[in-house]
Structures are given as structure tokens and as C-alpha cells.
Amino acid sequence: MKELEIIIKPEKLETVKSILDEFHCGGMTISSVMGCGTQRGNIDEETNVIKGMKTNINLLPKIRVEVVVDEEKVENLIARISEKVATGNAGDGKIFIRSIEEVVRIRTGERGKKAL
Ligand SMILES: Nc1ncnc2c1ncn2[C@@H]1O[C@H](COP(=O)(O)OP(=O)(O)OP(=O)(O)O)[C@@H](O)[C@H]1O
Ligand SMILES: [Mg+2]
């Protein structure tokens, strides 16, 4: 099992939710976060114009989507998200991928893939 931590612009949340549904992901966790990438947030994300000095860190609102999936789905999921979310402009986001050792469905005690 792998966890994808998908950081996106807020306006892409509905797109990502639909993709996770399409892939029959068992669940998801969504948080509203602040963040910056290599431009340190000093970019107009509409026009892609750098606004200031890179030394000033400016945190922008982002959405974090956490989803744990069967490893077999990972590459197709990444491809689909990238296809639908990429605009070509800075700030489109990132996907961090981690291995997940175990999962337990509390109601039934099921473990592993069947508990997703
Ligand atoms: N190295 C990182 N560690 C933790 N969070 C990160 C990292 N890079 C990006 N993020 C998170 O992802 C969000 C989007 O990053 P962003 O898409 O701007 O990445 P980037 O590396 O600057 O790429 P781009 O040049 O396409 O903008 C950030 O606002 C931050 O929340
Ligand atoms: Mg960036």
C-alpha cells in the first residue's frame, strides 16, 4: 500500500475528488493548508509572474489530499491526476508518495488491502 499526499490549488479539489472516485479509492482525507514551493510563494499564479524577492516567503492557500491505495493503482493515479491538474504554470502542486505498512478497519478488525 502507498499513501499519496497530493498538494493542489484549492480550485482543483473537485477534479481530484472525481479522479479518486473513478479509481474506487476507499477513502480520503482533505485538509486546508498553507504552503510554498520553489518560488517561495512569490508568484502571481494567474499570470505566472514572479512578484518579489525569493527571500520573502509568502505562504499560499493549498489543499492537501491524503489517500492510501493499493500499489497497483499508483502509477495510473499519478498519470491521471497530472493530466487533469497540470496547467503548465508554477504552483500546480506536488504528489509525495510513502509506503504504508499496515491499515486496520476499526469496525471489523480487517487489515491490509481489504481494509482500505
Ligand atoms: N519540498 C517540499 N516540501 C513540502 N511541501 C512542498 C514542497 N514543495 C512543494 N510543497 C507543497 O506543494 C505546494 C505546491 O508546490 P509547487 O507546485 O509550487 O512546487 P514547485 O516545486 O515550486 O513547482 P513549480 O515550479 O511547478 O511551482 C506548496 O505550496 C507546498 O505546500
Ligand atoms: Mg512553485
pLDDT in tens, 64-74: 999 999 999 99
Q: Which CATH number is associated with domain 2-115?
A: 3.30.70.120
Answer whether 91 contacts ligand 1 (Cβ < 6 A). Answer: yes
Q: Give residue 87 CA to ligand 2 midpoint distance, Å.
A: 12
Answer whether 94 contacts ligand 1 (Cβ < 6 A). Answer: yes
Residue 50: pLDDT over 80? no
pLDDT band at 100 (very low <50, low <70, confident <90, very high): very high
In this structure, the strands spanning 43-44 and 49-50 are: antiparallel
Residues 54, 109: Cα–Cα separation, whole Å:
49
**Residue 111 per-residue DSSP state:** B
How much is the pLDDT for 42? 81
Answer whether 39 contacts ligand 1 (Cβ < 6 A). Answer: yes
> Tens of pLDDT along 74-96?
999 999 999 999 999 999 999 99
- Let me know the angle formed at the C-alpha of 20 by 94 and 18, rounded to the nearest 5 degrees: 100
Q: Give residue 23 CA to ligand 1 midpoint distance, Å.
A: 25
Q: So where are the chain's domains?
A: 2-115
